[in-house]
Amino acid sequence: MQSLIDKEIEAMEPGLKAYAVSILTPLKTKVLKWEYGNDEEFPAWEFANFGERNVGAAFCIDGHGAGGYPWGLIFTNDDYFGMDAGWYSSFKAMLTDGWYEKNI
C-alpha cells in the first residue's frame, strides 16, 4: 500500500506533493462499513489526517459504491464510508477538490 501512495505523490507538482507528505500518517488497517446497505464490511487503509474535524484519508480497493472510487475522505473516529462525494479516482483528485487550496 505504501508504494501505491508513494507513486501517487510522486506524480504531483511540488507544492501539492509537499502538502500530501505533510498530512501522511502511519498506515493503519481499517474496516469500513457500507451504511447504504446492511453495514457490509470492506478492508481499507487509513493513511492521512487533515488535522481538523477528525477528517482523514483512506484507500479501499473495492471503492465507494457504484462509482467505485478507491481514494476517500473518512472520519477517523468512525467506521463508515460516508458520502460518495468524498471518494475520488486518485489521491491528487482528493486533495485538489478543496483541501490543498484551503491549506496553502
Tens of pLDDT, residue by residue over 67-102, are 899 999 999 999 999 999 999 999 999 999 976 666
β-bridge mates for residue 46, sequence order: 28, 58
Dihedrals phi, psi of 59, to nearest 5 degrees: -120, 130
Closest CA to 40 of 32, 49, 48, 51: 32
Q: How far is CA 87 from the centre of its chain?
A: 7
Domain ranges of the chain: 2-102
CA separation for the pair 21, 32 (Å, rounded): 24
Closest CA to 103 of 29, 31, 58, 49: 49
Residues in the chain: 104
pTM, rounded to two decimals: 0.92
